[in-house]
Structure 1
């Protein structure tokens, strides 16, 4: 297994991709290490968000900045099933499915404890992974955790099924063809993800367009939109014994339709009230902090990571 060296690299290529088999599916990942030095500390396991064109490429800026600031942890960056270079079966994905994939990845590829860094709405995958493989999770960093209403209100199974069936249809295929255009991606990113429209740059849009080129990538996206991840996670939060850092953007917003808008401070307070060893911090940015506010995000999490290094 040859790790990728990204400390001074502006572009990471598919030639550094590696693969493993899980349940007869081919799954991709990369391993990053600092250039010309020995890795130190507990490795990081990155969990990318789900969305049109999103994959492990989401973490490229973070990885570059991490090593450019002198940090030396190894980084494991996998593509979840249905995304990136991993296989894209036509199934309805649940957080448990992705957690089982990552559990196998930890057991067979990493084979040592990690610090999980999870982005946004994939937080339920991290919860499920802690439930399944707690001994291999040392700490957790929650980047832009979802609004509290989304994490405590379970959507009805019938509703999930109706939404999935609607999306998993010719209508959904047509919608996905439009959703992967630069025009839509720019509009959605500006409205829902970034604090500044200027941050929605060519690198971001080109990465999403390339990631959504394979129409089979729609199944993971539609699974997320159908809400298979929506349930009450309070019991999961209160059971996490690992130290956990929640990082929230100063202008964080939500896809929730709740009439009462939740402030970032309120969001942090809800999480910290439930996490037995929780801490929280706000930084500039909105909902995709490792990409939009990369330097600030690295600065925010480094002390927490280095406590066990």
Structure 2
């Protein structure tokens, strides 16, 4: 099912996957550059609007920013554990049914496992490149020296016991109270968390309002708490061994991260990550940004992605700063 509503400069799309529907923010651009599939991060009140500022300044090809199942205006937000394979299946279907051609995946933060699982499902039929924004250390999802194998299943690195217990609590009324507390005080807790962990500078009112309003739907907690339960413990589904998938990722892949006061050697960290990729396509450092590059510095993020798209035909380990 596909429904489009035109909005100034973009289109709001409604799509169906299984029994669930979700929205996407779509912009049209140059036909000579590949489309971007923008994978949003997961957090309290975070949805496809995470990329809105970036999309509004993008001067490349089409962009598609879908809500992940269980987030944004997706319905019905059932009580379920969302692991990377769930969202990868949703987005793989979106690429095939809506975009209709291979695209460049823009993976934000800890959502890299979703991009890897999309590579497993579609390979070059759906993926022609990957840009990792503010990624965690690659050791988080893949061990070094693993032989390339796209068919290798994701393997737990530790028992699932802690994840199961954490999810049982999170999906109970206790989890509901915890989620409400996270978005409490009319968004001031969201502002405080953002200032301490996500932005290089102070958070803006538009960000806080967007997250607070989106988090009013408490059923969005299932997606957010799934991610937390699967990320924090060593045996979480988001930390499974996917080294075979990463080693098989033979499409241009770029690392883009921010630099901010207290940042730990972003240039060397980026270069080390590029050296672990089978097809490194350059690294980019965004000034005055931390973990939310498309929102904090949309113009610089767009510039970095355009440079990646226009120079991704050869392997490149160089790391460069973007902006002044």
TM-score (norm 1): 0.85
Contact 2:5 2:13 in 1 (8 A): no
> Which of these residues, 26, 41, 44, is aligned with residue 49 of structure 1?
41
Matches within 5 A, 1:188-267: 188-197=193-202, 200-227=203-230, 228-251=237-260, 263-267=265-269
| CA positional deviation for 1:179 | 0.8
Q: 1:108 aligns with which of 79, 97, 105?
A: 97
Alignment deviations for residues 112-161 of structure 1 (CA, whole Å, 9 cap, x no partner) = 11111111111110110011111211111111111345334845311211
Structure 1 residues 152 and 266, CA, compared in 2 at 3 Å: closer, same or farther? Answer: farther
Q: What is the alpha-carbon distance in structure 2 between the residues aligned to residue 300 and residue 155 of structure 1?
A: 37
Say which is worse superposed, 212-221 or 291-300, in terms of deviation: 291-300
Separation in 2, partners of 1:270, 1:156: 29
Contact persistence 2:5–2:12 (CA under 8 A):
no
Identify the match of residue 164 of structure 2 among 161, 165, 170. 161
Shift of 1:21: 1.9
- 2-side partners of 1:124 and 1:109: how far apart? 22
Kindly indicate which of the two structures has a greater share of residues assigned to helix.
1
Is 1:142 the counterpart of 2:132? The answer is yes
- Structure 2-normalised TM-score? 0.82
> Which residue number in structure 1 is paired with residue 149 of structure 2?
none
Classify 1:263/1:157 alpha carbon distance in 2 versus 1 (closer, same or farther; 3 Å).
farther
CA distance in 1, matches of 2:261, 2:83: 25
1:1-309 alignment to 2 at 5 Å?
Answer: 2=4, 4=6, 7=9, 16-34=11-29, 39-66=31-58, 71-87=59-75, 88-134=77-123, 135-152=125-142, 154-181=157-184, 182-197=187-202, 200-227=203-230, 228-251=237-260, 263-278=265-280, 279-284=282-287, 285-307=289-311
Equivalent residues of 1:193, 1:286 under 8 A apart: yes
The answer to whether the Cα contact below 8 Å between 2:142 and 2:246 also exists between their aligned partners in 1 is: no
Q: CA RMSD in A?
A: 2.3
Tell me if structure 2 keeps the 8 A contact 1:239–1:276.
Answer: yes
Inter-CA distance 305–86: structure 2 relative to 1 (3 Å threshold): same
Matched-pair contact (CA < 8 Å) for 2:79–2:171: no
SS at match of 1:287: coil
1:33 and 1:105 map into 2 onto residues whose CA distance is 16
Name segments (4+ residues, structure 1) moved above 6 Å. none
The verdict on how the C-alpha distance between 1:141 and 1:173 changes in structure 2, with shifts beyond 3 A counting, is: same
What is the SS of the residue equivalent to 2:239? coil
Distance in structure 1 (CA, Å) of the matches to 2:169 and 2:94: 33
8 Å CA contact 2:4–2:14 kept in 1: the answer is: no
**Separation of aligned partners in 2, 1:33 and 1:246:** 25
Are residues 4 and 144 of structure 1, via their aligned partners in 2, closer, same or farther at CA, if it must alter by over 3 Å?
Answer: farther
Structure 1 segments unaligned to the other structure (5+ residues): 254-260
Aligned partner of 1:258 in structure 2 is none
Report Cα offsets for 1:58-109 as digits up to 9, x if no partner: 000000111xxxx241111111100111121110000000000011111111
Q: Which has the larger displacement, 143-152 or 121-130?
A: 143-152
Q: Secondary structure at the match of 1:226?
A: helix
- Partner of 1:229: helix, strand, or coil? helix
